[in-house]
Structure 1
Amino acid sequence: MTMRQEDFDRMAGQLPLGRDPASVRRRLEAMEALLERAFVLPGTSYRVGLDALVGLVPVVGDLVTTAMGAWLVWEARNLGMPKFHLVRMGGNVGFDALIGAIPLVGDVFDFAFRSNSRNLRIVKRWLDKHHPETRLIEGEVIDRR
């Protein structure tokens, strides 16, 4: 399984370093893409990411992917999201880690339950409501002023 150079360059170019909501949104979208849909399984159109692949390594893989998922929650906290949303996001990461720790069952589960995609949807809904200027259409930030 390989990642095309164009896809890697596109994802790497989307990693802004700012603390503004638009930069955080692009950073979270890039991390979610890496964790959940960075690669295409050969012979299929099914996309998987590092969460499913690194999770195949016993113990260490699950710890690494849980830490990466927790980073998404940390970024959401830094945005000032309400605790209710943070608890939901933490629950998604925790549930993924708990089931992912079960040998074989957890590996299959990682291919189906995409906690990082769920968490990104929570963040995007909140950002769309509270920071509508961060919305993107075809890669361009929409200025709603």
Structure 2
Amino acid sequence: MSDSPPRFSMIEPDAKAPTLKRLRQLSRLLDNIITVPGTKIGFGLDPIIGLIPIGGDFLGVMFSSYIILEAARLGVSRATLSKMVLNVIIDGLVGTVPVLGDLFDFAWKANINNIKLLEDYLKFPSQQKSANRWFIFAVLVGLLLISIVLIALPVILIRILWNALTGG
């Protein structure tokens, strides 16, 4: 019988703190790096990247997906990963709506919410079963498909609008 403590994740316990620190920094960079002077209102690169036509929301989802991938490597449960993915899907899909989506990006902090979910999970990791590799693979494929939709949807809408305006 081994004297080593039970493992709850694919990352050694000593590596969790630096990983969590790195994910917190990325989350802050994406969601809250700049604070409006005199207020508690902050925003990050995610809403700024979202202003880039067509590919901006795709890039935002890719950065957010990295946080989810690292959370999976830390051994986060299916339930927690599912909540994290839902945050990113909401951020990505609403972000595609012109103007409204850009304003929404300033208010919806998907990455900060996901770090809170990760931290809550890491407080009591043995209470929930970690996600298996197939579930993680399915999550990543799903995020990739969402990213493709985020590129295709604006292109389709622009084409429809162009045809309506030009009569073509």
Q: What corresponds to 2:67 in structure 1? A: 72
Q: 1:46: Cα distance to partner? A: 2.3
Deviations 1:87-141 (A, max 9, x none): 110111011100001111100100111111110100011112239xxxxxxxxxx
Give per-residue Cα distances to partners, 1:28-48, cap 9 Å, x unaligned: 100111001111336755211
User: 1:69, CA displacement in angstroms?
Assistant: 0.5
Amino acid at match of 2:20: R
Distance in 1 of aligned mates of 2:28 and 2:109: 11
Could you list the runs of 4 or more consecutive aligned residues of structure 1 that deviate by over 4 angstroms after TM superposition? Answer: 42-45
- TM-score for both structures, normalised by structure 1: 0.72
Alignment check: 8 A CA contact 1:21 1:127 kept: no
- Unaligned runs of at least 5 residues, structure 2: 1-12, 127-168
Q: What is the RMSD of the two structures over their aligned residues, measured on CA atoms?
A: 1.9
SS of equivalent to 2:124: helix
CA contact (8 A) 2:76 2:125 kept: no
Structure showing greater radius of gyration is: 2
Corresponding residue of 2:116: 121
> Could you say which residue in structure 2 is the equivalent of 1:89?
84
Which residue is 2:54 aligned to? Answer: 59
Sequence identity, in percent?
32
Query: Higher relative contact order by CA 8 Å / sep ≥ 6: 1 or 2?
Result: 2
> Aligned with 2:76: secondary structure?
coil
Task: Give the number of aligned pairs.
Answer: 114
TM-score w.r.t. length of structure 2: 0.63
